[in-house]
Amino acid sequence: MKREDSTLLTKYGKDSGFKVPENYFEDFNKRMTEMLPEVEITPVDVKPTMWQRVRPLVYLAAMFAGVWCMMSVFNHFNGTQTDSVGAVAEKLIDDKSNVDEFLMSGSVSDYDLINYDDSVMLSNEEDLSENP
Amino acid sequence: MAAREKYDEAQVVEQLHDPKMCRSAFGKVIEHYSSQLYWQIRRMVIDHDDANDVLQNTFMKAWTNIDNFRGDAKLSTWLYKIAINESITFVNKKKVMNQLSIDDDESFLVNQLESDEWFDGDEAQLNLQKAIASLPEKQRLVFNLRYYDEMKYDEMSEILGTSEGALKASYHHAVKKIEQFLGETE
């Protein structure tokens, strides 16, 4: 949108034509600081504003909200990989063969394994004899 | 040359209320605001020596009343308020001393401008200043704050105690009047 003062700005700019003596501001600051009289200052605690007080909490909440949003977006776009560890464990436990393997894996001795192999071999031989 | 310390307003305001630190903190305030306040004052009173006196009075008044500044408003707002009040009071006093009517702004300010040795603008700049001088006091203030300092209306509203809508209207009228004045003089 065009500024209403654009004509003036284009034609006259912002230089007012006023000047100051060289080093005026440096000299003024020094002179002014020196001429300040003694005043009595009552020490006060400048109270922080409401915003200054709640700002850390707002930032913390925003950070958590951001992390939560990121997780949601990530889960949304990776549907097949969305199962949590708990959900995967639940699926595995539902599958009975997995339960058996799971339960057995810690207590199977070498002897059991040899017997297991033999029984497999025997059952295979029976299959062969039934279907020559 | 030593590097200038970064100005932290919140820290400075806190130090202004500490008896041990207040003087050095006010030194920082002077260093930070002297230039911007000077130019605002100068555009109101026109003459450099007058602007120098008004700026000095502004800081002196701020310093002697520093105990009353509680940090509820921005420090810049508070200082601008003092500077503007001091400028208006000064111009009115000077007009009385020169036996001019309070409303007789234009001729007084133009005389000030033409006799100021620290004005070296060209003819166009002189005409613009004359056009600004022809405005009523409030419009002149609003125009200077907006045109030269690019001050936002909400900040201006706090300083002048006028609604933003009224300030926008005031600026609009000021621009139109200046354009008309310049159109007639060209």
Q: How far apart are the first and last CA of chain A?
A: 93
Topology given in CATH for the domain delimited by B121-186: Arc Repressor Mutant, subunit A (1.10.10)
Q: Where is average pLDDT lowest: A3-12, A86-95, B153-162?
A: A86-95
Q: Which of B147, B153, B171 to mutate to test the interface with A (most CBs of A within 10 A)?
A: B147
- Asked if residue B31 lies in contact with residue A29, where contact means CB atoms within 8 angstroms, the answer is yes
User: With 50 as the cut, is the pLDDT of residue A101 above it?
Assistant: yes
Which tens digits make up the pLDDT trace of B86-124? 999 998 898 888 776 655 666 777 777 888 888 888 888
The CATH 1.10.10.10 portion of chain B extends over: 121-186
- Asked if residue B86 lies in contact with residue B64, where contact means CB atoms within 8 angstroms, the answer is no
Q: Which of A6, A8, A16 to mutate to test the interface with B (most CBs of B within 10 A)?
A: A16
Q: Which two tokens stand for residue B69?
A: 């500044």
- Single-letter code of the amino acid located at B161: G
DSSP B162-176: --HHHHHHHHHHHHH
Residues of A in contact with B52 (CB under 8 A): 28
In the predicted model, residues of chain B with pLDDT beneath 50 are 1-3
Check if B43 contacts A (Cβ < 8 Å). Answer: yes
Q: Do A16 and B14 touch (CB under 8 A)?
A: no
Q: B100 CB contacts (<8 Å, ≥6 apart)?
A: B107, B108
Please report the pLDDT score of residue B131 as a whole number.
Answer: 93
CA distance linking residue A55 with residue B126, whole number of Å: 50
Task: Give the SS3 label for residue B119.
Answer: strand
Topology given in CATH for the domain delimited by B9-100: Rna Polymerase Sigma Factor; Chain: A (1.10.1740)
Which tens digits make up the pLDDT trace of A28-41? 999 999 999 887 77
Please report the pLDDT score of residue A96 as a whole number.
Answer: 59
ipTM above 0.90, yes or no: no
The CATH 1.10.1740.10 portion of chain B extends over: 9-100
